[in-house]
Structure 1
Amino acid sequence: MLSSVSTFLSAIVDYAGFFPPAQLSLKAAMANYAQYHASPDAWMLGRFVLPASHLEEFIALLPTFPLAQWPLSIVISQDFEPVLSRVQSLAAHNPAIALQALEFPPLTATEITALDLLPQVETFFEIPLDQDLTPYLDVLHHQGASAKIRTGGITAAAFPSAVQLYEFIFACAQAQVSFKATAGLHHPIPGEYPLTYEPESEVTTMPGFLNVALASALVYWQKITSEAGLSLLQEQSADQFLLTDSAISWNQHQLSLPELAIARKQIFRSFGSCSFVEPIAGLQAMQLLSKPEPQTRQELSSKKI
């Protein structure tokens, strides 16, 4: 594997198998995560994304899996302060839980300011793209928190345009606020893909996680114009990406290994995906990763396990 690939994509996929469109049972999602954690692809696996409302069920299932510690990103959707206190207490008393991140739905800037954030826990607030980003990002910068962008869903309308995506990335870089993406980034480069796993699923154009990550890094290092950044976000030709052991470039816009590592820490943190297999398979199709033995490339899909 190229050093540029391992540096730039390390722990980039937060596994969210419990969420649509996969929408597995919690037990099935946990089984997948444990399997991925023991696989050769574990270097690319980030946190296990879990709704706070299912934390007790998660704890009850822990003894059935061999994984000693679970790095969690907890999604809190309501009753923020009481739930935050409960999450903190449960995590503190269970050595199998490594509480690494919290994710919140869209809130007002005032509501974000009022929350007492947990120290040493990365906190992401979803930012609505149809509103002025500046007051949100100003608050996040002041709070030391991160942003979250929704990059897709189970309907075509859930996907932001390339312009919206670029404007968000640029605004985050300007405000010095890192972000994660959620949904819609199952594939390395953009293309026409099914919205769900149903046989007659509608197909729509989806963004690519390699494009988003690379555009974010180039914007962070001020190495790309707005016009070129928009073109990069829509680039569908794998041949236009040049990856060597020491750098990644697109259309003569190059980032060195140290620049890639810093960009992952300072701008694009990760993306949530209900599939871990598809991002890996996409990189294999681009010949950026070697293909493992067939029996190791599996993903549970049953909702009843």
Structure 2
Amino acid sequence: MSEQRPLVPPLLAGLCDDAALFPPGNAPVAAAVPAHRGHRAAWYADLVGPFLLGADRIAEVGDAAAGEPLDVVLVVRAGPAALAEALDRLAARPALRLLGVELGPDADGTPADAAARCRDALARELPPGAAGVVELRRPADGDSARGRAALEAALDLLAAAGLRAKYRTGGLEPQAFPSAAELAALVGGCAARALPFKCTAGLHHAVRHTDPATGFTHHGFLNILAATDAALRGAAGGDVAEVLECRQGGELAAALADAPAAPGADTRADALRAVFTAYGTCSVTEPLADLAALGLLTRPDADLPADPTHPDTLDRA
């Protein structure tokens, strides 16, 4: 008898961190916490990573958890100076189980200088067993040789410290979106160092696209997955950037088709996900729908669930 295909293949396991509380979704805590529990109990649970908790929402989420354990990653965007106090407040909420901390950069010095201060704060404050993730401040000109050198220095620092990197790939203004060349430098640099990284913001769909409402061109999370695969196989920066610029979902899906493998196997898929670990999404159902449409996961029925934290759902409520 043939082995049954998993609904969510290992290539996609834990890819989507639940950022329902963050822009542009900005879901209320009363909707986001039960929705996350629903995702974690659904047939696509293996796709869903931890609940991302902003430091300013600790009390609200702690109350909403109502004594039932909730795995969280604490996001401290205010920088190293805010870390200790945020961890103290989280520790007072025993239902919130800390899996990791994503620490934002402060504004002084170079990206490497800011990353060094994050490294030092995490070395002092990070509880045992929690993962440390440092958000890199994007270089002032990521497309220049100087910008690439600044990024390389920051990546060297994180790799030496055994930390993970986080990079912003979008936002509410056009300059918040890095070019394909800048993002290719990040992907290639992490692949060369076997440095785990995640992305956040702007990755609303699997494939690169232009939002007709804003005119902003968004990176696709599937593009980043395929670009990481290309970089790990030795592709040059320009070739990695071409993968990031691809707008053909079928091409990207085909490029990754032979990557899925059994958990724990020493395979191409394992190597790829060890580097590109996850991305934050304010809607779990958007990537779910995209991946199902591309045939990269198997859904057990024809209809996909409604997401109570999706902005469209909240607007109608």
Alignment TM-score, normalising by the size of structure 2:
0.80
Q: Mean alpha-carbon deviation: is it higher for 102-111 or for 293-302?
A: 293-302
Matches within 5 A, 1:74-223: 74-78=74-78, 80=80, 83-84=83-84, 86-87=86-87, 90-91=90-91, 94=94, 96-107=95-106, 108-117=114-123, 118=126, 119-130=128-139, 131=147, 132-193=150-211, 201-222=213-234
- 2:19 & 2:221 partners in 1: Cα distance? 15
**Secondary structure of 1:262's aligned partner:** helix
- What is the alpha-carbon distance in structure 2 between the residues aligned to residue 226 and residue 28 of structure 1? 42
SS at match of 1:247: coil
Partner Cα distance (1:163, 1:243) in 2:
20
Task: Check whether the contact 1:247–1:257 (CA below 8 A) recurs between aligned residues.
Answer: no
Name the SS for the 1:173 alignment partner. helix
Counterpart residue number, 1:237 = 248
2: CA distance between counterparts of 1:52 and 1:235?
36
Could you tell me whether the CA contact under 8 Å between 1:4 and 1:246 is conserved in 2?
Answer: no
The match for 1:198 is none
Name the SS for the 2:192 alignment partner: helix
Aligned-pair Cα RMSD in Å: 2.9
Gaps of 5+ in 2: 107-113, 140-146
Question: Structure 1 residues 296 and 124 mapped into 2: Cα distance closer, same or farther (>3 Å)?
Answer: same
CA distance in 1, matches of 2:30, 2:45: 19
Change in CA separation of 1:257 and 1:4 when aligned onto 2, cut-off 3 Å: farther
Is it true that 1:71 corresponds to 2:71 in the alignment?
yes
Partner in structure 1 of residue 294 of structure 2: 286
Say which is worse superposed, 2-11 or 160-169, in terms of deviation.
2-11
Partner in structure 2 of residue 44 of structure 1: 47
SS in 2 for 1:302: helix
User: Which residue in the other structure is 2:25 paired with?
Assistant: 22
- Asked whether the equivalents of residues 277 and 297 of structure 1 are also in contact (C-alpha less than 8 Å), the reply is yes
Deviating beyond 4 angstroms after TM superposition, the runs of 4 or more aligned structure 1 residues are: 1-5, 243-246
Number of the residue aligned with 1:57? 60
Shift of residue 48, structure 1, vs aligned partner: 0.6
Q: Distance in 1 between matches of 2:61 and 2:131?
A: 21
- Amino acid in structure 2 at the alignment position of 1:226: G
**Is the contact between residue 103 and residue 118 of structure 2 (CA under 8 Å) also seen in structure 1?**
no
Q: How many residues are paired up?
A: 286
Code of the aligned partner of 1:176:
A
Shift of 1:304: 11
The superposition leaves residues 52-107 of structure 1 with CA deviations (integer Å, 9 ceiling, x where unpaired) of 1211211111128xxx432211111337466436526744861x333112111124
Query: Structure 1 or 2: larger strand share?
Result: 1
Q: Which moved more, 1:277-286 or 1:129-138?
A: 129-138
For the 8 Å contact 2:226–2:256, the answer to whether it is kept is no
Distance 2:315 2:97 in 1: 26
The 3 A distance-change label for structure 1 pair 207 and 151 is same
2: CA distance, partners of 1:81 / 1:263:
33
Distance 1:279 1:12 in 2: 10
Deviation at 1:192, TM superposition (A): 1.9
Q: Which amino acid aligns with 2:228?
A: S
TM-superposed deviation, 1:220: 2.6
Matched residue SS, 1:35? helix
Residue deviations 1:232-279 (CA, integer Å, cap 9, x gap) = 11111123232687537xxxxxxx9712112212x1110001111110
Deviation at 1:142, TM superposition (A): 2.2
Report the counterpart of residue 197 of structure 1 in structure 2.
Answer: none
State the match for 2:144 in structure 1: none
How far did 1:226 drift? 2.5
User: 258, 263, 272: which is aligned to 2:272?
Assistant: 263
Corresponding letter in the other structure for 1:215: A
Q: What is aligned with 2:305?
A: 296
- Which one of the candidate residues 277, 287, 291 is aligned to 2:285? 277
- TM-score of the aligned structures, taking structure 1 as reference length: 0.83
